[in-house]
Amino acid sequence: MSDYQLVSLANGGKTLFSASYGEKMHPGLGPAAEADGLYVRQLRIRQRIQQHQGEFVIWDVGLGGAANAIAALRATRDLTGQLRIISFDNTSEPLAFALKHAAELGYVTGYEPQLAVLLQAGKAAFDNGSSRLNWEFRLGDFPALLETGPKSALPPPDAIFYDAFSPAKNPAMWTLPVFTDLYRNLDPKRPCALTTYSRSTMIRVTLLLAGFFVGVGHATGMKEETTIAANTKDLIDELLDARWLERAGRSDSAEPLRQGGYARAKLSAKTIAELRQRPQFS
């Protein structure tokens, strides 16, 4: 029996539900609208591709049913240039499920042949309207992949969609070592922004300690705020400020996860001192 099921949303749309994690994918606005608003628009993918020289690289962390990647494809069909998407997941099951239920989900429609090739071969190259796309699917353990050396063999990203299941259900994907390794795989000469649906103090602290500038992300669906991070503050409209740092010091759930298990804890004195030294607060 599949771990994934189709479930209805309040707006009448459909999305995927994982029985093992007990969570829906894109539970607010649904896959198409949420992926477009949270990842594509928030990271200004269209505008950045238009200003970019050479291949624009997106790391799609948490491929799932491919809603985020497909939102990027739909938003950039009329642009000329080269786009590379590298998708990561520890299972291909949600992708296969989404392809099987393409009609009910809606957002998949029109990309079924390409998804079938991606699923079968682990890569697909095709013309996406006016642009050329190279899409790779790296199946396996993402934290382990980042640990393979000083830098992975992958091209460094210009944008990162970070869409793993929640820290409470999938803590191994949200630890400080994972985000430190992720930051280490960036090219400091290549501006890169990351966005995620979480607005938790714990995740924002984790990103800051890993080396990112961190800011307030747009509202989407059921989230009043999301989170955006980058290796340059120029890609962030609203940086977290000293008032946020004060509130973080009072939070009961702010200390980063340093191992795979989930735990809630106040910031240690050492962590507070480290945060105060981050460039955006000093």
pLDDT exceeds 60 at position 188: yes
- Segment 85-133, tens digit of pLDDT: 999 999 999 999 999 999 999 999 999 999 999 999 999 999 999 999 9
Provide the 8-state DSSP code for 41. Answer: I
- What is the rounded distance in angstroms from the CA atom of residue 212 to the CA atom of residue 228? 10
pLDDT exceeds 80 at position 223: no
Q: In the predicted model, what is the mean pLDDT of residues 230-244?
A: 96
Residue 124, phi then psi, degrees to nearest 5: -150, 135
The DSSP element (H or E) to which 81 belongs, if any, is strand 81-89
| Token code pair at residue 257 | 């996860």
Q: In the predicted model, what is the mean pLDDT of residues 187-211?
A: 97
How many residues appear in the chain? 282
- What is the rounded distance in angstroms from the CA atom of residue 135 to the CA atom of residue 125? 6
Q: Are 55 and 86 in contact (CB under 8 A)?
A: no
- Segment 40-58, tens digit of pLDDT: 999 999 999 999 999 999 9
pLDDT exceeds 60 at position 209: yes
- How many CB atoms sit inside 10 A of residue 144's CB? 12
Q: Is 37 helix (H, G, I), strand (E, B) or coil?
A: helix
> Per the CATH hierarchy, to which homologous superfamily does domain 29-276 belong?
Vaccinia Virus protein VP39 (3.40.50.150)
- How many CB atoms sit inside 10 A of residue 203's CB? 23
pTM summary value = 0.96
Q: Is 87 helix (H, G, I), strand (E, B) or coil?
A: strand
Q: What is the predicted pLDDT for the residue at 151? A: 61
